[in-house]
Amino acid sequence: MRIAITGRNGQVAQSLLERAAIAALDVSTIARPGVDLTRPNEVEAALVALAPQVVVNAAAYTAVDLAESEPDLAYAVNVEGAAAVARTASRLGIPIIHLSTDYVFDGTLDRPYCESDATGPLGVYGQTKLEGERAIISASDNHAILRTAWVYSPFGKNFARTMLSLASKRDEISVVSDQLGSPTNALDIVNGIIAVAENLVQKPSAAELRGVFHMTGAGETTWAGFAEAVFDVSAAAGGPSAHVKPIPMSSYPTPAKRPANSRLDNSKLFKVHGVHLPDWRQSLPDTVERLLMQDFPKT
């Protein structure tokens, strides 16, 4: 299967490239410096030249707090860039898989969010991601929008890597304990993307395979619980560890508000696509051990 993915250095793009190296996948990236997602003509030319069977729009402006002071740039990437990819995919007659986020919700429900629940972003990042979803839907009927959350991996900047770095310098780390979510490994996300892509390509007229879906790791925890799990794995492997001091979100003010409940209900994805990501605790050890080898190699 020929897949084009926007972005090159992001966690999902890096995970897909790694997966392609061990599977029968032909993966091409659409990213700077060759292609600027804020320039629709460049996006269209790149996709036409690659002639993929499916395109994955993983590139995004993800700096949640910085987006509050850079709304135009966030909009250009998350809305206009997404729309350009979707329009070209529609023109080429191929499906688009678009990655979105739990930040499209306000986090006030006392249960995991379903796809049919009302959206209500709390900040610029969430609002532009929601408008990006709408742009995809408007530009192409042949789409699968996958909302995920709390992404981590052996690649790039992410929560697990940050915790390990902090633990190498401190004995105690304050971490938010009243925000619920599901840590989701980018390598698991990629496995889900590939399964969805195969379904879309094999069944081009199956309307039920198109639409909005939630896709996160199974299980739930808090950021503090996530940090403790990272340190447990790290300590067992001889890596850095620290005591986690639970704090409320109110004690860690940020420019952008975060949803207190980031849990997503993934039952629709399993029912329609047969995709179920593993429990977050199952996927954590391998990634933490890889991060330790990269950032804290034993001499």
DSSP annotation of 8 reads S
- pTM, to two decimals: 0.95
176, 262 in Cβ contact below 8 A? no
Query: pLDDT tens-digit profile of 91-147?
Result: 999 999 999 999 999 999 999 999 999 999 999 999 999 999 999 999 999 999 999
Q: Where are the domains of the chain?
A: 2-157+184-218+262-279
Q: Say how far apart CA 88 and CA 140 lie, in whole Å.
A: 9
Confidence of residue 64 (pLDDT cuts 50, 70, 90): very high
- pLDDT of 148 strictly over 90: yes
Catalytic (active site) residue 61: no
pLDDT, one tens digit per residue, over 244-276 is: 999 999 998 899 999 999 999 999 999 999 999
Closest CA relative to residue 215, chosen from 157, 274, 162, 257:
274
Estimate to the nearest angstrom the gap between the alpha carbon of 132 and the chain centroid.
14
Quick one: pLDDT at residue 70?
A: 97
CA geometry: angle 172, 177, 183, nearest 5 deg: 100
In this prediction, residue 245 carries a pLDDT of 97
**DSSP state, 102?**
G
- Which candidate in 103, 113, 125, 152 is catalytic? 125
Domain range 2-157+184-218+262-279, its CATH number among 3.30.70.1290, 1.10.1660.10, 3.40.50.720, 3.40.50.620: 3.40.50.720
